[in-house]
Amino acid sequence: MKKNKQQQNMNLDLSTFLTIIGTIATLVFGFLSIDLFKRKKNPGKLIIVKQTAIGLFNNIAKNFDEISIQYKGAPIKENVLYIKAGILNDGDIDIDGKSVEKTLNLSLKDNLKWIKAKVTHSSPELKCKTEIGEEDKSLKFDFGLIRRNEFFQFEALIETNDSSVQAEDIYDNIIISHRIPNTQKVITTSLLSEEQIVRKKKKMKSFGINIGAQFLGVVFLFFFQILYIRDAPILYKTIDGQEFKVTAKSDESIQLKNNKAKEEKIISINEFKTPQKYIPFIPRQTFWQKITATGYIIPVLLIFIIIFIGSEYWELKKAKKYYKLFDIATE
């Protein structure tokens, strides 16, 4: 009888531990399902991959009188910016640019205007050209069919009358719009440099070593919990052998929870104090009960690993994908 009771307690503790792990998995897959729902509702997805942004005068010719950069025969002053970016179909469907209501459009904010724009590279067989309109405030892309993972790169010159506009902030002054069916809002992302990729790899390696050390610490805590910590819960039992977990309520009532029968009931404090009706005792803790006492450490550690390593790995994976794609265009 006693052995069966211990087995039941072990099963209960294991169930609690698995419930914690299941909760974590539910949260993780919940976030993934939100992204999946978004992609299913609007499977088309265009992203702008930022590559270069330079103030032609400030970054190149400002400190050297011998250097002069000209455009259409006139020297370029500090109000001209050069940008280079790629536009990639990162969605789940092909996008037919000939059947859209409004094509992809990059509009500049006040005190900015497009001077020149040109598509410089693209995926094989992908045709695309640019058009500047609306008093040089709008840059439109006229393209045909962009299949999944296909892209085109463009370079452009922007003129500004506002000296506070810096090259590195130029994308904050661009409004992206379109009316392409079943396609999400266009987002911008940066193309990591090779140095940044190397740093990320080193960072992930260092984090892996730290996690390994923390895991050894968790193992130590488990053994410490099992061998040295003497804390134990107090339960109450009745004459007929029922066991209850007791919780006091603010209204001076007592909640009795029978874990074995999965029943709860509320009694008055006077009834609870009836002599020999509810007898306190300390149950013998099983191996799994002691493990459960520190079991929260593992879920916390797993969440930390998933959030950090997952985000870093995902960004690194995207960077490698972009490099692989854009390298095709520059061969």
Half-sphere exposure of 46 (CA within 13 A, CB side): 30
CA 25 to each of CA 12, 13, 21, 305: distance values in angstroms, whole numbers, following the listed order:
20, 19, 6, 13
Strand order across the beta sheet in which 235-237 lies: 263-268, 253-258, 243-248, 235-237, 279-281
Q: What is the pLDDT of residues 94-148, one digit of tens each?
A: 999 888 889 999 999 888 999 999 999 999 889 899 999 888 899 999 998 999 9
| Count of other CB atoms within 10 angstroms of residue 83 | 20
Q: What is the pLDDT of residues 171-197, one digit of tens each?
A: 999 999 999 988 999 989 887 766 767
Q: What is the pLDDT of residues 245-295, one digit of tens each?
A: 888 888 888 888 886 777 888 988 888 888 888 888 777 766 666 656 555
Alpha-carbon gap, residue 160 to 114, rounded angstroms: 9
Paired strand residues for 263: 258
User: 10 pLDDT band (50/70/90 cuts)?
Assistant: very low
Retrieve residue 212's tokens. 């390994």
107-134: buried (b, 16+ CB within 10 Å) or exposed (e) per residue?
bbeeebbbbebebebbbeebebebebee
As a whole number of Å, the end-to-end CA separation of the chain is 76
Average pLDDT estimate for 215-229: 66
User: 210 pLDDT band (50/70/90 cuts)?
Assistant: confident
- Domains observed in the chain: 42-191 (2.60.40.1170), 202-330 (no CATH)
What's the full length of the chain, in residues? 331
pLDDT at 3: 46
Strand order across the beta sheet in which 112-122 lies: 112-122, 151-160, 80-89, 46-55, 187-190
Among 13-17, 242-246, 273-277, the minimum mean pLDDT is found in 13-17
Q: Which long-range contacts (CB under 8 A, 24 or more apart) does 135-138 make?
A: 137/107, 137/108, 137/112, 137/113, 138/105, 138/106, 138/107, 138/108, 138/114
User: 158 pLDDT band (50/70/90 cuts)?
Assistant: very high
